[in-house]
């Protein structure tokens, strides 16, 4: 990804423009686009400085303000999963990606890990296999083909 031009280069270009040089000659001499010089002149005129703006856009966080407060309250209410939080937000009309919710939870210092102690109270789906010696031998059972 490209970087913004340095403030030094911007100042040199605008100093030349202030002395009366044309934008085209400044751009050719400094090997930059003519539109850069005109945009820098506009930036200085509007803001009074030549600092480059943030590259990559200025996207505001979706989970801020009232959205963040709602999410914090929902998390504090009891156990949660990221998938359920994302689904509840979508039901409220605010679509976000599950990773966005994870980043919010992670930034807030909350945990989305399952609680092993609480899970112990719930019956597990694990069913131990019967001992092979206790069941009928393979020779005694009729052969049934397996369909895949």
Q: Whole-prediction pTM value?
A: 0.41
Q: What is the pLDDT of residue 115?
A: 58
- Is a pLDDT exceeding 80 seen at residue 59? no
Q: What is the pLDDT of residue 60?
A: 72
Angle between helices 98-107 and 82-91 (to 10 degrees): 110
| Annotated domain spans of the chain | 7-47, 66-112
Q: In sequence order, what are the residues at sequence separation of 6 or more whose Cβ sits closer than 8 angstroms to the Cβ of residue 45?
A: none
Residue identified by tokens 């899970």 is 119
| pLDDT (mean) for 100-116 | 74
| 8 A C-beta contact, residue 130 and residue 93 | no
Angle made by CA atoms 105, 79, 123, in degrees to the nearest 5 = 135
- Is a pLDDT exceeding 90 seen at residue 128? no
Of the pLDDT bands very low, low, confident and very high (cuts 50, 70, 90), residue 119 is: low
């Amino acid at each position: 990804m490209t970087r913004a031009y340095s403030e030094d280069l911007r100042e040199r270009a605008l100093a030349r423009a202030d002395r009366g040089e044309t934008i085209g000659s400044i751009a050719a001499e400094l090997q930059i686009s003519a539109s850069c010089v005109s945009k820098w002149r506009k930036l200085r005129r509007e803001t009074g400085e030549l600092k480059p703006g943030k590259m990559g856009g200025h996207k505001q966080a979706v989970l801020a303000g009232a959205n963040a407060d709602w999410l914090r309250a929902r998390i504090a209410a009891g156990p949660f999963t990221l998938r359920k939080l994302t689904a509840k937000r979508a039901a409220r009309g605010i679509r976000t990606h599950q990773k966005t919710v994870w980043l919010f939870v992670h930034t807030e210092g909350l945990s989305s890990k399952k609680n092993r102690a609480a899970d112990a109270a719930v019956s597990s789906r694990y069913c131990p296999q019967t001992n092979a010696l206790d069941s009928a031998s393979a020779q005694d059972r009729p052969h049934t083909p397996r369909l895949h």
